[in-house]
Amino acid sequence: MSLDSAQLETFAAVVREGSFDAAARVLNVTPSAVSQRIKALEQAAGQVLVRRARPCQATEAGAPLLRLAGQIALLEREALDTARGSGAGTWTRAAVVVNADSLATWFMPALAAVPPELRLLFDIHQDDQEHTADLLRSGTVMAAVTAQNVPVQGCRSQRLGAMGYRAVAAPAMFATWFADGVTPRALADAPMLVVNRKDRLQHRFLRTLTRRELDPPSHYVPSVTAFEEAIRLGLGWGMVPDLVADADLAAGRYRELSPGSRLTVPLYWQHWRFDAQALTALTEAVRTVAAATLR
Amino acid sequence: MSLDSAQLETFAAVVREGSFDAAARVLNVTPSAVSQRIKALEQAAGQVLVRRARPCQATEAGAPLLRLAGQIALLEREALDTARGSGAGTWTRAAVVVNADSLATWFMPALAAVPPELRLLFDIHQDDQEHTADLLRSGTVMAAVTAQNVPVQGCRSQRLGAMGYRAVAAPAMFATWFADGVTPRALADAPMLVVNRKDRLQHRFLRTLTRRELDPPSHYVPSVTAFEEAIRLGLGWGMVPDLVADADLAAGRYRELSPGSRLTVPLYWQHWRFDAQALTALTEAVRTVAAATLR
């Protein structure tokens, strides 16, 4: 059995754009053509490949075909470039997933270090570093910055370095809640900042420091900028990467809860085991910038 | 028929925390107790209220009950505070949804302006301003910063002001792609930055400027910090709020594509039509800071 490449491309577009209509728009075909191609591909595969939700997602059976579609797109692009003698102005999509703190600090300079003549269009997803590998597993992205070292099936894993995190608070907040010291009792009562329900960094810090499972009152602030601003404004304490905390500590806007205590989160670059030029160049840029930035 | 308040509280915890297990943890009960309460509430309502997914969500039938649960929690808190003579150290959850640019600029100072003795714990959700009203409709949040003026059922809508956006690029990127002017042809070819598939600001700007429907090659960068950094690094042009663009323009890191052309996005504060002290204080703080910051 051979799979139809237009059908695979259509399948990838539906998952990437999130709906049959949006896929039809980017492919310049009618929605009914999209629907027919997906049905035909599902018949050929003997499996339901698209979960018809908002947004549309690949089913578990769809994951390997989604990855295949992405790999074929990269190969086609390279073959065409070689045939034409150079990149003839066409762009290639490169979907990656990155944890929020990397995205806000060192990751964009890494992308900017990829040679522009490769004409990569970055499709960035953001998730907690403990969960970024999921999108790699589902075939949605070709590479991930992740806290997981064990390679996802069909992927390579390389260590990038570690992000160091320190627990910080505004001096006024510190004075209000930790006047009698950073004790387990004060830590149980003082308001804490958490990015979202997936973010367990603050709880890990509490466990390391107190050897207890504390669950303080928590604000949820799902934006790196807003999270750091919330600390400066005294809404609570939280874990901030060294890469951004240093300036605020030096300027006296932050105060460390436990000077010298640092959580380190090792980060890995996992990517398809697949030697397309685009992916190789991206890996090279990511490793170089990470080596210069992370611990 | 009267609804059981422990069951309602459990229902709200399941949706807020995303799973039966997580709800059990925050409520300090067993997962099977959570499951029994949800089943009993669904029997009382005669409807399925929780979509058992990852994360768990309220069904359409669940939305009014989710809002009810939130309102009862606010009322209970006020009654207890009054009975005890003051806020006796208990915290109240206040769930709100905000567009990313507001969250990264003026919204945290607004939250910091809420009197701390009200002991509000903010549970912030982030979405595109065209979509924030959805979480209000679903009963997940008590208030939203939204581009939609028409009140959601049971909500009040108040104008906060407008965010102004300008199209900017790094000088080097501008020189590469717009050497012959910011023409429709150059705009169709030049790489553009887009936050995610919901973000239509760049397309609106293109339509306003060229009167055409252009769809340039697009990078997707779902983080305010990374989006602004990507522009500085020359990956593409994009729409940036005046509140942050001014400094970069003055320093020569950004160049305007069409000096003087500005998109304005009117923002509204929509909240439950419900006069709880917490909500009133939050509205007051949000309106005051917005009035001082927005246009």
- The pLDDT tens digits for A239-287 are 999 999 999 999 999 999 999 899 999 999 999 998 888 999 999 999 9
Q: Does A83 touch chain B (CB under 8 A)?
A: no
Q: How far is B169 from chain A (nearest CA, A)?
A: 14
Q: Tell me the chain B residues in contact with residue A217 when contact means C-beta distances shorter than 8 Å.
A: 91, 121
Tell me the CA distances in angstroms from B24 to A53, B28, B84, one per residue in order. Answer: 28, 6, 28
The answer to whether domain A1-61 and domain A163-265 are alike in fold is no
Residue B213, SS3? coil
pLDDT (tens digit, 0 to 9) for every residue of chain B, 295 residues total? 578 989 999 999 999 999 999 999 999 999 999 999 999 999 999 999 999 988 899 999 999 999 999 999 888 888 888 887 765 568 999 999 999 999 999 999 999 999 998 999 999 999 999 999 999 999 999 999 999 999 999 999 999 999 999 999 999 999 999 999 999 999 999 999 999 999 999 999 999 999 999 999 999 999 999 999 999 999 999 999 999 999 999 999 999 999 989 999 999 999 999 888 899 999 999 999 999 999 8
Taking alpha carbons only, the member of A148, A169, A172, A170 closest to residue A160 is A148
Closest chain B residue to the Cα of A230, Cα to Cα: B108
Which option is the CATH number for B1-61: 1.10.10.10, 1.10.940.10, 3.40.50.1370, 1.50.40.10? 1.10.10.10
Domain spans of chain A, in order of start? 1-61, 163-265
Yes or no, beta carbons of B224 and A223 under 8 Å apart:
yes
Residues of B in contact with A223 (CB under 8 A): 100, 103-104, 124, 126, 223-224
ipTM summary value: 0.93
Q: Is B129 helix (H, G, I), strand (E, B) or coil?
A: coil
User: With an 8 Å Cβ cutoff, are A235 and B109 in contact?
Assistant: no
Q: Which residues of A touch B226 (CB under 8 A)?
A: 103-104, 107-108, 124
Structural domain B163-265, CATH architecture: 3-Layer(aba) Sandwich (3.40)
Q: How far off is chain A from B108, nearest CA to CA, in Å?
A: 6
Hey, which residues 105-134 in chain B have their CB within 8 Å of chain A?
107-109, 111-112, 121-126
Q: Does A3 touch chain B (CB under 8 A)?
A: no
Convert B67-101 to b/e letters by CB count within 10 Å (16 or more is b).
Answer: bbbbbebbeebbeebeeeeebeeebbbbbbbbbbb
* Contact assignment for A111 to B22 by CB distance below 8 Å: no
pLDDT at A87 over 60: no
